[in-house]
Amino acid sequence: MLPLALGLTVVAAVSWARGPWGALWPRQGCAALGRCCPGRDPTCAARGPPRCFCDQACVTVRDCCPDYAWACPAVSCIVAEWSGWSRCVKPCQVSYRVRQRHVLQEPRNGGAPCPPLEERAGCVEYQNHQGVECQQSLFPALITTGSYGKEREKRGVPKKQEVVGYCVQFRLGPIAGSCQQARAPHAQWTRYLTQGHTVCVRCEWPAQDARSRRCYGDGSGLLLWQAAGHPRCRGSWERLGQLRDCSCPEVHRLVFI
């Protein structure tokens, strides 16, 4: 009888300390503690008995205070919109451009973490930082998604040159397997490149040669190409002809850079 009596006494004491059926008395719980802690923090404990916690790990350990869910709600990370793309880091060679975003709200209490704050994409600029036109040719032909042509800034070029351009149709030959394994967001377009498919490639300033008004890589026979920003993605293609407009599906609409 004595062990049973002691057990009932402990249960009664716990019930009295926590109030009826788990309710908290004043100055107990996470709200009274005024803290919600990341990870596992032994000091982030509210009054007992029994002792309960207000740290993020209490959800896994199952020793949270009864008011943890509303006193320490999960807050996910919030980030701003992407900035515009920067200029190419290095002119006159295959390089990359950068865009960034910043954190508006840090995650708390197990909320979703922040996504990447920087992205890079391949690019080429045909003038150096002093505005002098680059002299060397690039081989193989460098291509990227057609949307890059819309983003590309027209710096220091007469208005009539901005509209001069043409579209070339190619049939894709053998393609490196790494094209299908692209993970970076800016390189996802390479996953749609398949041998035998037809692609439309826009040739426009500044990829056009100043004298011939043609893009390097727009020739006859079997030619080589490489995806800007994903150097292991490369292959060959055969020129089919020149078009007035690039009428291919969007995933097969590219641009020389």
pLDDT at 78: 96
Structure tokens at 133: 């036109």
- In the chain, what percentage of residues exceed pLDDT 90? 19
- CA proximity to 115, closest of 76, 64, 63, 156: 76
Question: Which region, left, alpha or beta, applies to residue 221 given φ > 0 means left and ψ of -120 to 50 means alpha?
Answer: left
- CA proximity to 140, closest of 176, 164, 167: 176
- In the chain, what percentage of residues exceed pLDDT 70? 74
Structure tokens at 120: 């890079």
Matching residue, tokens 């020739």: 219
Q: Are 206 and 164 in contact (CB under 8 A)?
A: no
* Between 220 and 170, the higher pLDDT residue: 170
* Between 159 and 95, the higher pLDDT residue: 95
The pLDDT tens digits for 35-94 are 899 888 999 998 777 889 999 889 888 999 999 988 999 899 999 999 988 888 887 776
pTM to 2 decimals? 0.51
pLDDT at 11: 38
pLDDT at 214: 77
Q: Is the pLDDT of residue 104 over 70?
A: yes
CA distances 38 to 58, 64, 79, 102, 133, Å, are: 10, 13, 20, 22, 54
- CA proximity to 241, closest of 192, 168, 177: 168
pLDDT class of 2 with cuts at 50, 70, 90:
very low
Contacts with 2 (C-beta within 8 Å, 6 or more apart), sequence order: none
Q: Is the pLDDT of residue 6 over 50?
A: no
Cα separation, 87 vs 162, in Å, equals 18
Cα separation, 52 vs 83, in Å, equals 44
pLDDT at 4: 43
